[in-house]
Amino acid sequence: MLTDKEIASFKEQGFVVLPDFIDPEHIEDWNVQFWSHIAADPDNSSTWPDNYVIDRFATDPLFGHLPAMQEVVQQLGGGQFSGGGGSMLVQWPHKDGHWSMPEQGHIDGYGPNGWSGGFMLGATAYLEDVEEEGGAFVYWPQSHLTTHQYFLENPGHIDGSFTERDDWKERSWGLFSDPSPQGPEQFAAQAGDVILWHCNLCHTGSSNILQRPRLGLFSRWHHADRENMRYEVPEDLWKYWAI
């Protein structure tokens, strides 16, 4: 369960970091599962692929289905958040010696197949420690607030039609991340740490110029009643939450 302080931080910042949230036994077992799935040697980079998305791979048990995670999701969503599946996204090393902070972050729920609707909560964890410039998950603190304000002012854009703006080609996802009250930060963390992030929080990946791959686990939850609430932009950002 999250403490009152952690919940307050999540509401204010749009994210909360939970150190040592996943048991080391799971991390160790998932590492074995991952390297076996891709048929590569974790200590021999010549055997590593370069796939960002690891097809047909899911941890057993699923990251989002861990009892501790389900407990937190229940606390945040009051039993109305569904999902917890996810994906394995890997930033393999590209040691060109140059690293720069991403200029833009995006919001999830909008993709090649259109707008999914009802996305509420995301979670990210690593299977190995990740240092800065090592492909870390990057996020814009408090951007959930400015994203919410954008949709309050442009409620018709909640369906993804913001991409039809005249300035979209020029601004792209900077439309959301540029107004953020704070600049981007890297989730440099140890294996087993978890960052929970609000659906409106701008985020993105980053390049990896270090020696080890960034092995990222991502899970997402949507609202159980998403078909009825998906086009709504509530005045209260937390209307569909239990916090």
Q: If pLDDT is split at 50, 70 and 90, which confidence band does 22 have?
A: very high
Report the pLDDT value the prediction gives residue 1, as an integer from 0 to 100. Answer: 92
Q: What is the pLDDT of residues 60-71, one digit of tens each?
A: 999 999 999 999
Rounded average pLDDT over 21-34:
98
Name the β-bridge partners of 130: 189
Compute CA distances 51 → 22, 130, 145, 158, 215, whole Å. 25, 18, 33, 31, 11
Look at residue 53 and tell me whether its pLDDT is greater than 80: yes
Report the pLDDT value the prediction gives residue 32, as an integer from 0 to 100. Answer: 98
**DSSP assignment of the chain:** ---HHHHHHHHHHSEEEETT-S-HHHHHHHHHHHHHHTT--TT-GGG----SB-TT---SS-GGGSHHHHHHHHHHHTT-EEEEEEEEEEE----SS-----S--B-SSEETTEE---EEEEEEEESS-B-TTBS--EE-TTHHHHHHHHHHH-GGGGGTGGGGSTTHHHHTTHHHHTT-SS--EE--B-TT-EEEEETT--EE---B-SSS-EEEEEEEEEETTHHHHTT---SSTTTTS--
- 98: tokens are 């140059």
Look at residue 73 and tell me whether its pLDDT is greater than 80: yes
Q: If pLDDT is split at 50, 70 and 90, which confidence band does 205 have?
A: very high
Q: Are 77 and 48 in contact (CB under 8 A)?
A: no
Look at residue 78 and tell me whether its pLDDT is greater than 90: yes
State the CATH class of domain 4-229.
mainly beta
Q: What is the pLDDT of residues 146-199, one digit of tens each?
A: 999 999 999 999 999 999 999 999 999 999 999 999 999 999 999 999 999 999
Look at residue 112 and tell me whether its pLDDT is greater than 90: no
Look at residue 113 and tell me whether its pLDDT is greater than 90: no
Report the pLDDT value the prediction gives residue 154, as an integer from 0 to 100. Answer: 98
Look at residue 95 and tell me whether its pLDDT is greater than 80: no
